C-alpha cells in the first residue's frame, strides 16, 4: 500500500494486560491520533458499538474482504473468530492527517511492523505476571471458563514475542503505565 512514509502506532499485548485502557487514554491525550477500527466476526459485548469499537461483520463478509485484498493484516485471533485491519481505515486516517493507532494481537502487530519498519512505533504492554492477568480477566467478568483458559494459554505464548517490539511497558499500575506510554508516544509524534 502507498503512504509508506506515514506514521503508525501499534499497541499489542496479551489480552487483559490493559492495552485497551491505555489506548483510550492516548486517544484522549493526543488529538493527532485516530483509532483504527478493525473488522471482527465476534459478537459485540456490553456497550460496544458497531463502527466505533469494531466493524462487526459476518464470517462470509470477512472472507470476502480477504479475497478482495482489503486487509493490511488479519488473524483468526480466537478459534473461529477473525479480526483484521482494513486498508480503508488507515487511508481514511492518513487522509485526515492523523496517525492511526492499532490495538491488535501480537501476530498482527509483528506483521504490520514488518510492513512499516521505518514509520511504525510498536508498544508491547505486559502484566506483571500470568496470575495477575488471570485475576484481571476474571474481574472483567466477560469470559466463560473456556475462553478464559484460551486467553491465559495464549498470553503465555504471546509473552515470548515481546523482544520484537520497540518498547515494553509493564502495566503494574495503570496510571503509571499510561504516563510512561504518553511520553513515548509524544516523542514519536513530536507532539
* Radius of gyration in angstroms for the set of CA atoms belonging to the chain, rounded to a whole number: 16
* 160 class by beta-carbon count within 10 Å (0-12 exposed, 13-18 middle, 19+ buried): exposed
Q: Is 171 in the site for ligand 5GP (CB under 6 A)?
A: no
Smallest separation (angstroms) from ligand 5GP to the CB of 189: 21
Asked if 82 contacts 59 with a C-beta cutoff of 8 angstroms, the reply is yes
If DSSP states are collapsed to H, E and C, what string results for 75-103? Answer: EEEECCEEEEEEHHHHHHHHHCCCEEEEE
Residues 10 to 39: which contact ligand 5GP by CB under 6 A? 15, 38
Stretch that binds ligand 5GP, among 60-68, 71-79, 125-133, 168-176 (CB under 6 A): 71-79
Stretch that binds ligand 5GP, among 81-89, 123-131, 166-174, 182-190 (CB under 6 A): 81-89
Q: Cell match 510498536: residue?
A: 122
Query: Site mask, ligand 5GP, residues 85-104, x = CB under 6 A?
Result: x-----------------xx
Which of 36, 51, 39 lies closest to 94, judged by CA?
36
Q: Is 105 in the site for ligand 5GP (CB under 6 A)?
A: yes
Q: Which is nearer to ligand 5GP, 30 or 74 (by Cβ)?
A: 74
Binding site for ligand 5GP (CB under 6 A): 15, 38, 42, 73, 75, 77, 83-85, 103-105, 108
Amino acid at each position: 500500500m502507498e503512504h509508506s512514509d506515514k506514521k503508525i502506532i501499534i499497541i499489542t499485548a496479551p489480552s487483559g494486560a490493559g492495552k485497551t485502557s491505555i489506548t483510550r487514554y492516548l486517544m484522549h491525550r493526543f488529538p493527532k491520533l485516530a483509532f483504527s477500527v478493525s473488522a471482527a466476526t465476534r459478537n459485540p459485548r456490553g456497550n460496544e458499538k458497531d463502527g466505533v469499537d469494531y466493524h462487526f461483520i459476518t464470517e462470509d463478509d470477512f472472507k470476502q474482504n480477504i479475497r478482495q485484498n482489503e486487509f493490511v493484516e488479519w488473524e483468526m485471533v480466537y478459534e473461529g473468530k477473525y479480526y483484521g485491519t482494513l486498508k480503508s481505515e488507515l487511508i481514511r486516517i492518513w487522509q485526515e492527517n492523523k496517525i492511526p493507532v492499532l490495538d491488535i494481537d501480537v501476530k498482527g502487530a509483528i506483521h504490520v511492523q514488518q510492513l512499516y519498519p521505518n514509520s511504525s512505533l510498536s508498544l508491547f504492554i505486559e502484566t506483571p505476571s500470568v496470575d495477575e492477568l488471570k485475576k484481571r480477566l476474571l474481574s472483567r467478568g466477560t469470559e466463560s471458563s473456556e475462553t478464559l483458559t484460551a486467553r491465559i494459554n495464549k498470553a503465555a505464548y504471546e509473552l515470548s514475542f515481546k523482544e520484537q517490539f520497540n518498547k515494553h511497558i509493564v502495566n503494574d499500575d495503570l496510571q503509571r503505565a499510561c504516563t510512561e506510554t504518553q511520553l513515548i508516544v509524544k516523542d514519536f509524534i513530536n507532539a
